[in-house]
Amino acid sequence: MDVSEVVAAHYGSGDLTSAILRALDEAGVDTTRLAVGDLGALDQLHAGFAAATRVVLEHLGVVEGTRLLDVGCGLGGASRMAAHEFGAIVTGFDLTPQFVAAATELTARMGLADRVELQVAPGDHLPLADGSRDAAMMIHVGMNLPDKRAVFAEVRRVLRPGGIFAVYDQMRVGPGALTFPQPWADGVGSSFVESPDQYAEHLAAAGFTVLATVDRTPEVLGPPPPSAGGLTPAVVLGRGFVDRLRNTEADIAKGRLGAVLVTARVE
């Protein structure tokens, strides 16, 4: 299996759409009339959950009508927040077909299908025209990308001049071997954690100017906020998720990992 196949197999298993709808049902949520907040942290597969997504969207300056690209959209939680709270028109792509299928169903049930379109595609081959988007985000995807430069170059291609790109990832902030399994990988074969300086080099090589690099670790540590039925990414990532998260937290405590937000502009 190549890295893409390992990553898609890691995230997508079984009938994810039914599993999510069942979990929502059990949590007492009316799945025929979903609201964006109903999913709790279930569709926010990154440190800091919905609150961290909001900060990314604020850094991007997303407003009514912004044409926003979401690379590695997962279950579409960030895409839907961008549309619902900020008025963006969102196109999201993800490698994992089960995620895109579930994300599309959830989006339709929230009545957002006219503003959020999610498709299966790898980040380095986006089926979008040159310069067709105003802003782009990539949230907790880079840890799975062996060739970030290729993805950044593709994002650069589809952004208009002056377009802003926000990358929010777990990054390498100090030495020492990482503890596996992590939420994004079972081992080094599909884990490509890099430092903020390396991200900056890749972004510059792809034609971006880095605007800001912010270590958000202190703000995003900890479990998801309480929600109806206690919905968490464990519904999606399996029961082992809690142990995986513990390994991330241990590596953060040892100064190896940090949740870093980098913003860059197309020149």
Residues at the contact surface with ligand SAM, assessed by CB under 6 A: 7, 11, 44-46, 72-74, 77-78, 93-96, 99, 122-123, 139-141, 144-145, 184
Residue 7 or 173: the one with the smaller Cβ distance to ligand SAM is 7
Of 151 and 173, which has the nearer Cβ to ligand SAM? 151
Nearest approach in angstroms of CB 14 to ligand SAM is 15
Tell me how far, at minimum, the Cβ of 175 lies from ligand SAM, in Å. Answer: 24
Nearer to ligand SAM, 126 or 264 (CB): 126
Amino acid of residue 107: T
Neighbours of 37 (CB within 10 A): 12
Which residue of this chain has its Cβ atom nearest to ligand SAM in the complex?
A: 74
Pick the closer one to ligand SAM by CB: 6 or 161: 6
CB of 108 to ligand SAM, least distance (A): 18
C-alpha–C-alpha distance, residues 40 and 160, integer Å: 33
- Nearest CA to 146 among 118, 122, 130? 122
Least CB distance from residue 183 to ligand SAM, whole Å? 6
Residue 155 CB, nearest approach to ligand SAM (Å) = 11
For ligand SAM, give the closer residue by CB, 123 or 224: 123
